[in-house]
Structure 1
Amino acid sequence: MLGLVPARERIVCVEDSPELAPAHPHVVRLAARGGNSEGAGEVALRELVRQSLRMRPDRVVVGEVRGAEVVDLLAALNTGHDGSAGTIHANSAAEVPARLAALGALGGLSGPALAAQVAASIHVVIGVRRDLDGRRHVAEIGVVTTTRDAAGLDLRVEPAWTHGAGDTEPPAGRKVLDSLLRTRLPAVAETEAR
């Protein structure tokens, strides 16, 4: 990560339980906390995501989005924190839009509002799988695409790369991913040189 994120940038990691350990010199870690037996002292993940924006982050990373905090993550991604990320559980990259819609509903976000927020902020979805021996690996990479229909924006994750696909014809999303990488990576290299 150090090679891709300039050392001067602040990364704020927000998690239910501390697991992320990016190899970067400027990381702030926030962990949620449950309340005591009377319910006092709770610090919810959703509140931490909101508070992280007051810490002047360059990037916000939410360790695991399981509920209404998706609304705050999408707000963070749409307020100039380019290169931020979050983890979400879904059966495949293609099913991420449906999972986001379900979580957005928990946070009171309408379908059209969620679609607009996602379309403006999430560009790439990386699917990770666990092998039989317990090790995790990148299984697929997809790009978020939108089409407009009578109901509004329709979100899809188009495959761009699949583990073990070999030298077959590149999937439709590959051109979009290549374009994103061409436009984003030179900017990273330029800021590293400064």
Structure 2
Amino acid sequence: MSIAQKKVIVRRFAGDVLPGYLPVGAFVRTEGSLVQVDLLNLSGRIVPLSLHDIKMISYVRDFNLTDTINPERLLRRTFLARPRTEGLWLRVVFRTGDLLEGLAASDLTLLSTTIEDAGLYLTPPDTRSNTQRIFVPRSAMTDLQLLAVITTPSRKKPTPSVEEPTLQETLFATLPGNSRPN
């Protein structure tokens, strides 16, 4: 495991929630046909979890252990309007039928993490909530939709500093008997 461990809440399809610590990336371990995640729980023990049983892993600021229903404090699961941050606006439909929208990186890290970790990292709709980042395993998804590609607005081209004669000026300058005032 990596030295840098972040606070996570693992939500499984069985309905239970497991708080613990995981590295930011490369935490999926494959042994033959088993794909597992080694979660460091709050008592300091490593708990192996099957990736197929995990619905999502939420990287959180606080564990909120007193809240047994929604410790991630993920109140909004969809965007209210078009996101302002750069990225791929994605909609994930889980095996349970519920959905989650988020922003994924629109660079090579999207491909490398999807291949290495067998899943997808998303930034949730409400970045001010307790959940900072979400990992969704590929086995948890039944549908993945690309809603939009959000980019920064393009910059305007600078106007040329040297004035070139316009077509109108050259049209009248070429007529016989017309002279252009200087």
TM range (shorter): under 0.3
> Computing the radius of gyration over CA atoms, which structure comes out larger, 1 or 2?
2
Task: From the two aligned structures, give the one with the greater strand fraction.
Answer: 2
Task: From the two aligned structures, give the one with the greater helix fraction.
Answer: 1
TM-score normalised by L of structure 1: 0.24
Bigger relative CO (Cα 8 Å, ≥ 6 apart): 2
